[in-house]
Amino acid sequence: MRWLEVAVSVHPEWVEAVSNLFWELGTGGVVVEDPAIISLYLQRPADQVAMDGLRLPAEPVVKAYLPVDEELAGRLAGLRESLAALLEETSWRMSTREMEEEDWANAWKAYYRPVQVGERLVVKPSWEEYRPRPGQVICELDPGMAFGCGTHATTRLCLTMLEEVIRGGEMVVDVGTGSGILAITAALLGAGRVVAVDRDPVAVATARQNVERNRVGDRVEVRQGDLLQGTGIPVADVIVANIVADVIIALIPAVVRMLNPKGLFIASGVIREREKGVRREMVLRGLEIREERAEGEWIALMAARGWGT
């Protein structure tokens, strides 16, 4: 099958909005190429990355994929119209190219290499060799078409918070698990039981494969469902959600009901301009904000349920 890659170059503050638009329009996957994040992830300046043969974009690029079929022209016209309406107050550029499915599925792997996150955790692609040092925790992933490979700031923020709070034996819920990276990491760090939830069947299948790859199937259960609609999930010590601000705000009432007294909620995927709204809803629902971490325009919040909520 052939796909049309649609690449939109935008200012960093518009990356989340364009990504959300692509998902809402039902595109076959979304990729964000942020030169600052790629350079940081590879732990080398941009000019050194270029010497390795990897060309970094000058500004963030959000890519979506449309199947090349009889409906392509209509989809592409609708996409252009939606982008023009969304980005009318900022400059942007759009380009397209056709590609084979195999190229689409594997092109991103050029940027994906083992990377240390936090003090002990190393996220490693399944096709790369890596010799761990004593004390390191290795999470091996093949994210496929699901979000979450440790390269995005929002994922890294969650991972470092999990490393801080998991002490052993906790009940953890991962909302919008994607590749399963957060659920798997929680188990590798010592959580007693983890329930990972996602509405997307592709993400559920990918997460289950990664759970088996990391040999944590005895503690990690992956379910297809929606936390807002209830999935029979038990009360949790830690709930982690790396999604977007609007979904996090909608989740907070359910999170409060599902947390143990003094349980923790880790929320990431929040762009800086939406932080106040998320904070406001947390406080309104009785959550006490314990910590904030930031990377670029992205914010992660850790909040605790009070005894009275």
Sheet holding 193-198, edge to edge: 220-224, 193-198, 171-175, 236-242, 259-271, 298-305, 287-295
Between 141 and 301, residue with greater pLDDT = 301
Q: Which of 47-61, 159-173, 224-238 has the lowest mean pLDDT?
A: 47-61
Residue 234, exposed/middle/buried by CB under 10 A (0-12, 13-18, 19+)?
exposed
Q: Do the annotations mark residue 185 as ligand-binding? A: no
Q: How many CB atoms are closer than 10 A to CB 184?
A: 30
Q: Do the annotations mark residue 103 as ligand-binding? A: no
Between 56 and 300, residue with greater pLDDT = 300
pLDDT tens by residue, 104-151 = 566 656 556 788 888 899 988 877 788 888 999 999 987 654 455 556
Instruction: Tell the CATH topology of 112-305.
Output: Rossmann fold (3.40.50)
Q: Among 160, 17, 18, 213, which residue's Cα sits nearest to residue 6? A: 18
Residue with tokens 């503050």: 13
Whether residue 181 has pLDDT greater than 80: yes
- CB distance 111 to 57 below 8 Å: no
Q: Do the annotations mark residue 237 as ligand-binding? A: no
Give residues with Cβ within 8 angstroms of 198, minimum separation 6: 146, 176, 177, 178, 204, 207, 222, 223, 224, 225
Would you call 237 helix, strand, or coil by DSSP?
Answer: strand
Q: For strand 30-33 and strand 2-9, is the pairing parallel, antiparallel, or unpaired? A: unpaired
Q: Do the annotations mark residue 198 as ligand-binding? A: yes
Give residues with Cβ within 8 angstroms of 47, minimum separation 6: none
Q: Among 152, 160, 153, 222, which residue's Cα sits nearest to residue 185? A: 160
Structure tokens at 280: 């406001």
Answer yes or no: CATH 3.40.50.2300 is held by domain 2-108: no
Structure tokens at 146: 């699901």
pLDDT at 44 (0 to 100): 46
Give the domain ranges of the chain: 2-108, 112-305
Q: For strand 2-9 and strand 93-100, is the pairing parallel, antiparallel, or unpaired? A: antiparallel
Q: How many residues does the chain have?
A: 309
- CB distance 43 to 115 below 8 Å: yes
- High-pLDDT (> 90) share of the chain, %: 44
> How far is the C-alpha of 92 from the C-alpha of 84, rounded, in Å?
9
Question: To 5 degrees, how large is the angle CA 47–CA 50–CA 55?
Answer: 125
Rg (CA), the chain: 19
pLDDT tens by residue, 236-289 = 999 999 988 999 999 999 999 999 998 999 999 898 889 999 999 999 999 999
Structure tokens at 161: 């918070």
